[in-house]
Chains A and B, each alone.
Chain A
Amino acid sequence: MQQKLYMLCVEDEADVLDVVVRELSVLEDVFPIETAGSADEAREALKRIEADGDALGLIFCDHMMPGENGVELLVWMQSQPQWKPSRKVLLTGQAGLDATVKAVNEAGLSHYIAKPWDQDELVRVAREQLSRYVAERKLNPLPYLKHLVMDIVGDTLRASSASDT
């Protein structure tokens, strides 16, 4: 069974979460989407993904949320070996300089999207980050290829498909 590569969207405002999920749904045939309204829910979602033997390719995370904030969640993920390789994107309007610096230095932040974002930006960033995930982990890109960026995964594709049988 092919390991599924998830996208996780964490956002406390339900209508914003809806928009994010709707925009990303063009990728959903290959990369299933999980959603969470808080850091705690995000941990639950991660547990489910792990229990199914699947992996997380990418997390889109809001910063200002009730309870634990987004950057803290990302820093925690960076300390967990199974979530360290996942690409981490902050999707926020209100992360201050300190929080942003912390996200870059301690959470290995991959990308920062400021609200409001441009049309298509989310999908473009998702494709790019998922491509980097596949390339860095040297996964066989074939199952995901239709949504990946060829310039990023080209070498991985060539390395993983050398032989005729």
Chain B
Amino acid sequence: MPKTASSLKKPIGLVLGLGALFFMPFLSLDGLSPSGHVALGIFVMAAVFWILEPIPIYATSMGVILAQVLLLSDQSLIAAWLDRAHEGGYTAPPYTLFYGTLSNPIIILFLGGFSLAAAAEKYALDQNLTRILLKPFGTRPVMVSLGVMMVTGVLSAFMSNTATTAMMMTVAIPIVGMVPKEDPFRRLVALSIPVGANIGGIATPIGTPPNAVALAALARQGTVVPFSTWMLMATPLVVVTMLLTWWGMCRMFKPQIERFELTINTTFDRSPKAIGCYVIFGLTVLLWVTEKLHGIPSGVVAFLPVVFLPAMGILDKKEIRGFSWEVLWLVAGGISMGLSLSQTGLANWMIGQVNWDGFGTLGLVVLFSLVGFTVANLVSHTVSATILVPVAIALVLPLADGDVTALIIPIAVIGIIVSYANILPISTPPNAIALSTGLIDSKDLAKSGLLVGLLGFIFSIFFGLVVWPYIL
């Protein structure tokens, strides 16, 4: 049994992480401020905890905020020590700064997305949209698979990738399960869903948490990327990689049946509350994609559904309790960690440990993307982005030298490439769901995952170099 390795993982993670937290401040690393040592302890603890998971990843994120409040803020328990250790005293940031990350506009943007998704699910808007959007794709099996992939992608751009996969699986599996076992079409469709969901999440800022990590890091540098700009950058990339993945997958899993009809038995709910849900959903998305025209930031627009859906009785407190609050903590913990990385000079010190001369922005992006891609296959995408983006931005900042485009592109590429890391069943929750249906095995996932990863990697960098400079 490979049980020993996994049963040792937790205690090792716990000891390593806590060890780093306690002992880092006692080191004297050249060029790193005393508060930087404390921040390094928190950072290493967080990274170890996030990767080895002795405690849930969201609990680690909460712990990051707690550690920062207790150690680095104006409520610090070691304030006297920090003050003595710093020449000229230590200027502690207010503890509310760390708590405040939970109301960061990016967090509110996600909260708005959660509200819309919960309402869409409650009134079966997601299933009805699936039915309508699938229709034009007809009944040719390869086209059905394209339809499934594209529709999953569109929905997961606004709902969570995982929830979209679960919804698509519930409508598709009973019908696909009737196709003869030896027909690769079963696998083609069962793979189209997680592929569509994983890639589709890239398309909008609210599609998946790594986007938020990248956008929050940029916002901290004063560079706010509008919702519509992100979509203009990401959507063509999503479409291109999705089409090519579909093309490749149709060759790997060539359907044998001639005709396939994916019937979904739903009808539009026409009750006043359901109509209210459609209107608010449509209006919010419309305001988001037209951000550049009216100038109301997406984080402000996002608060409209948060207020109006419960106000009109479309969502009740049961559904509000059902939001993925842990995702908000996960992102907030990352934002909070980023604050101390820059404030204590830790990020700059880390960068100073390597000689980056001659790397250039492209080299940096490729290197960080490779690391991010690898890590994201093994652990959560958000964690991968959270660890890498704050360091990457500190590196890119001097190279960009005030040029906003040169700052946005590398960070967006790194933030996006982690979402293309879907080779293993554990890489993303949609993969785990697809595998558990029994229609595919992990070898199938690895095949489609490698294809997605390769295409995503190449085209993200290509878009960053060639296309995005014209959009920004």
- A165-B327 in contact given A143-B436, A146-B437, A158-B121 (Cβ < 8 Å): yes
User: Chain B, 140-176, contact with A by CB distance < 8 Å: what is the 0/1 string?
Assistant: 0000000000000000000011110111011001100
Q: What is the CA–CA distance of A162 and B432 in the complex, to the nearest angstrom?
A: 13
Dominant secondary structure of chain A at its interface with chain B = helix
Contacts of B208 in A (CB 8 A): 164
Task: State whether B429 touches A164 (Cβ < 8 A).
Answer: yes
**Closest A-B pairs by Cβ, 4 of them:** A146-B438, A163-B324, A154-B170, A145-B436
Contacts of B165 in A (CB 8 A): 161
- A142-B436 in contact given A150-B173, A159-B322 (Cβ < 8 Å): yes
Whether B214 sits at the interface, judged by CB under 8 Å, is no
Task: State whether B173 touches A165 (Cβ < 8 A).
Answer: no
Task: State whether B163 touches A146 (Cβ < 8 A).
Answer: no
Q: How far is the CB of A21 from chain B (nearest CB, A)?
A: 21
Question: Which residue of the partner chain A has the closest CB to B117?
Answer: A162
- A150-B174 in contact given A157-B169, A158-B121, A162-B324 (Cβ < 8 Å): yes
Contacts of B429 in A (CB 8 A): 161, 163-165
Task: State whether B163 touches A165 (Cβ < 8 A).
Answer: no
Task: State whether B327 touches A150 (Cβ < 8 A).
Answer: no
9 contacts between A and B (CB under 8 A): A145-B438, A150-B169, A157-B166, A158-B166, A161-B166, A163-B163, A164-B161, A164-B428, A165-B57
- 15 additional A-B pairs beyond A142-B432, A151-B174, A165-B209, beta carbons within 8 Å, are A147-B438, A149-B174, A150-B173, A150-B174, A158-B170, A162-B162, A162-B163, A162-B323, A163-B162, A163-B163, A164-B162, A164-B324, A164-B429, A165-B381, A165-B429
Task: State whether B380 touches A165 (Cβ < 8 A).
Answer: yes
Give the interface size bracket for A toward B. 10 to 19
Number of residues of chain B lying within 8 A (CB) of chain A: 35
Contacts of A161 in B (CB 8 A): 162-163, 165-166, 429, 433
CB under 8 Å from chain A, chain B span 302-342: 322-324, 326-327, 330
Contacts of B437 in A (CB 8 A): 145-146
User: Chain B, 380-412, contact with A by CB distance < 8 Å: what is the 0/1 string?
Assistant: 111100000000000000000000000000000
Task: State whether B170 touches A150 (Cβ < 8 A).
Answer: yes
Dominant secondary structure of chain B at its interface with chain A = helix
Contacts of A145 in B (CB 8 A): 433, 436-438
CB under 8 Å from chain B, chain A span 131-154: 141-143, 145-147, 149-151, 154
Q: What is the CA–CA distance of A164 and B165 in the complex, to the nearest angstrom?
A: 11
CB under 8 Å from chain A, chain B span 413-472: 428-429, 432-433, 436-439
- A163-B174 in contact given A146-B437, A158-B121 (Cβ < 8 Å): no
Question: Which residue of the partner chain A has the closest CB to B3?
Answer: A1
Contacts of A142 in B (CB 8 A): 432-433, 436
Q: How far is the CB of B322 from chain A (nearest CB, A)?
A: 7
Which residue in B167, B170, B327 is a CB contact (below 8 Å) of A163? B327
Q: What is the CA–CA distance of A161 and B324 in the complex, to the nearest angstrom?
A: 10
Task: State whether A165 touches B330 (Cβ < 8 A).
Answer: yes
